[in-house]
Amino acid sequence: MAKEKVTITLDRAKASAACELVGTGTPLSQVIDLALDRLIRAERLRSDVAAYRSHPQTAEEDGIAASSVSDDLADGTDWEALYPEQGP
């Protein structure tokens, strides 16, 4: 996605706090870009949850979900090693 330079007005204290949370030395533009990405994801999730709540599962769908539940999920896989956390 193409980026372009823009001028915004923001609360310096909030910007500083966000930069500290992300990591010292991270440019403010990257912090704002990350914040916008997270806002977009959160709002899409909120919208999806709202849509889901407006159309509850049917009894048949509940039955399918219940039949696939397993208590034996501990398989010894080291998921953190397979998917290391990536920085911002």
Q: What are the tens digits of pLDDT across the range 2-12?
A: 889 999 999 99
Average pLDDT over residues 52-66: 86
How far are the Cα atoms of 18, 27, 33, 45 from residue 3, in angstroms, in the given order? 21, 15, 10, 25
Q: What is the pLDDT of residue 77?
A: 79
Which contiguous run of DSSP H or E holds residue 5? none
pTM score of the predicted model: 0.59
Look at residue 34 in the predicted model and tell me its pLDDT. 94
Contact 88, 28 (CB under 8 A): no
Asked if 19 contacts 31 with a C-beta cutoff of 8 angstroms, the reply is: yes
From residue 69, alpha-carbon distances to 1, 12, 30, 62, 65 in Å are 40, 49, 41, 11, 7
Residue 73 has pLDDT above 70, yes or no: no
- What pLDDT is recorded for position 81? 83
